Amino acid sequence: MSNTAFPGESQDPRTTEAAQGPVPASGSGPEPTGEQPLTGEQRAAIAELLGSIDTIADELGRRFAANGHELAIVGGPVRDALLGREVHDIDLTTDAVPQRILETVEGWADAVWTVGIDFGTVGLRKGGYQLEITTYRSEAYQPKSRKPEVSYGDSLYEDLVRRDFTVNAMASRLPGNAFADPFGGLADLAGRRLRTPGRPEDSFSDDPLRIMRAVRFAAQLGFTLAPEVKEAAAGMADRLKIVSAERIRDELVKLMLSPDPRTGVELMVELGVAQYVLPEIPKLRLEIDEHHRHKDVYEHSLTVLDQAMELERERGMQPDLVLRLAALLHDVGKPKTRAFEDGGRVTFHHHEVVGASMSKNRLSALRFPKDVVADVSKLVALHLRFHGYGKGEWTDSAVRRYARDAGPLLQRLHVLTRADCTTRNRRKAAALARAYDDIERRIERLEQEEELNSIRPDLNGNEIQEILGIGPGPLIGKAWRFLLELRLENGPMGREAAAEELRRWAEKHAD
């Protein structure tokens, strides 16, 4: 183990400065020069991060040092502390191999788990804190491999130089709290830009998923990509084909739940990344929307996503993955259904049905959970239903069916349908808003009167058998569905009236 400080490393960040500066490609020139001091606010942020687990961190650092090993808090926790974001997980790195990590924490940690040990990671809990310790490492994909090969390193510097971006390549050594920033992460953090510690081509070759991570950080943290990072990402986007669908999905989920998913989606399209993640989205460009001729379908879809998020906030909802995916994908069926009619009119008949199928296929390919796939595709299928409402001509029966078909997705459908109005015609927008206000009021009234969310026929299966004098069989199911339709059409009928209708129906269907 070496305790030699390298460029960008200082002693206790609460009282000293950190050297930093641009880094050349690995092995291509002298190590970084130039200094920029930590501000008092930055020193306080690191102090707060360390102070929150001060006793535990110091104890753990001393245990590793006593065994001849290094230990440092690294990456995301350091970055988030400096950004003033809440830190949820504490990640540490060490030159100790996993077996030595286990030996070092034995008898000290309250609990230990080894689910990530094949990748050099040991998890532990101590005094209410959850920590992950990972051996210095680098990951690299072989040209046709879908899983990275992990190799262990010998120094913190080599571990940091292999990390994805400079803002994630900062560390605080334990014990002693020496702050390490050899690649100018602090300056990039202040400039809200993403650079890689070495050449971006090398970084993206080591792990192509970092291309998606760059896009996600743009949406999540409001960072811009340095020109060389954008160029490398665009030139290497096809390398995403070797990354597992699950890893891509996880990055996409974080992007969609970020404060600015629109920026992430636009960047994916600009860099050619969307072609390997959501290829349906770039195909929306230049497709004329028949309701909103001033926007193409791509721009319209992004606006719907923005408006759905605004309605989330107004209604006190948490960021909703299903709703946001449905907003982004609701019109993906339009390119396949576009048709030109006389007079220059463009139509997209049944695009909601085609889009629902396409959404289901794409999200399934990305290994989304089945309930997410089903809910998103159902919202896409239902997003046009309201447009038949007109000025309130729907009967109570039609309103009941609308609510029943949406089921537990009804509130999301309310938001999606409202968000789908992007017309610049204020009169038309106001009319649509009034109409949807009306249908929501009617649904609320019917729910209060009839427990709309749990609509059932006036007779259950046992009562159907008793009235018709028959045993279990297919006819019972048919009768139940008939009575459900009556219930939706007429509202509550009562047992006697329902029984009479059932007998009339049975006379025609007894055979």
Q: What is the DSSP string of 229-285?
A: HHHHHHHTGGGGGGS-HHHHHHHHHHHHTSS-HHHHHHHHHHHT-GGGT-TTTGGGT
- Of the candidates 277, 299, 330, which is a domain's last residue? 277
**Do 176 and 205 fall into the same domain?**
no
- Which comes out higher in pLDDT, residue 177 or 246? 246
15 and 146 together in one domain: yes
Q: Tokens 């400096």 correspond to what residue?
A: 82
Q: Which residues form the domain of 97? A: 1-192
303, 338: one domain: yes
Same domain, 172 and 311: no
Distance, CA of 306 to CA of 105 (rounded, Å): 47
**Interval 453-463 mean pLDDT:** 75
450 pLDDT more than 70: no
Structural domains in the chain (count): 4
pTM of the full predicted structure? 0.77
| 445 plus 481 within the same structural domain | no
Contacts 24+ apart (CB under 8 A), 103-111: 103/67, 104/63, 104/64, 104/67, 104/69, 105/60, 105/63, 105/133, 108/59, 108/60, 108/63
Predicted pLDDT of residue 31: 40
31-35, 78-82, 303-307, range with greatest mean pLDDT:
303-307
- Tell me which residue of 428, 502, 412, 419 sits closest to 465, measured CA to CA: 502
- Nearest to 186, CA basis, from 284, 386, 46: 46
Q: Determine how β-strand 179-180 pairs with β-strand 171-174.
A: antiparallel
Last residue of a domain, one of 242, 277, 312: 277
pLDDT the model gives residue 46: 65
Indicate the pLDDT class of residue 392, thresholds 50, 70 and 90: low
What CATH number does the domain containing 79 carry? 3.30.460.10
SS3 405: helix
Question: Region 146-173: what's the mean pLDDT?
Answer: 84
Per-residue pLDDT at 18: 40
Q: Is the pLDDT of residue 283 over 70?
A: yes
Q: What tens digit of pLDDT does each residue of 460-503 get?
A: 888 888 888 888 878 888 888 888 878 777 777 788 888 888 88
Same-domain check for residues 8 and 59 = yes
Q: Give the gyration radius of the chain's Cα atoms.
A: 29
Structural tokens at position 214 = 């760059």
Q: Which CATH number fits the domain that encloses residue 382?
A: 1.10.3210
d(CA 474, CA 385): 31
pLDDT value of position 43? 64
Give yes or no for residue 29 having a pLDDT over 80.
no
Average pLDDT, the chain: 83
Cis peptide bond prior to 175, omega within 30° of 0:
yes
What phi and psi values does residue 320 have, to the nearest 5 degrees? -115, 110
Examine the fold and report which residue of 192, 227, 251 is the final residue of a domain before the chain moves on: 192
What is the C-alpha to C-alpha distance for residues 173 and 505, in angstroms, rounded to an integer?
80
> Phi, psi at residue 71, to the nearest 5°?
-155, 140
Share of the chain above pLDDT 70, in %: 82
Q: Which residue has the tokens 């090398």?
A: 202
Residue 225 in this model has a pLDDT that exceeds 60: yes
Query: Which has more confidence, 10 or 260?
Result: 260
Strands of the sheet containing 129-135, edge to edge, are 111-113, 121-126, 129-135, 90-94, 71-74, 171-174, 179-180
Higher per-residue pLDDT: 94 or 502: 94
Which of helix, strand or coil describes residue 115? coil
Task: Let me know whether 172 and 300 are in one domain.
Answer: no
Q: Is the pLDDT confidence value at 33 over 70? A: no
The pLDDT score that the predictor gives to residue 452 is 52
CATH assignment at residue 215:
1.10.110.30
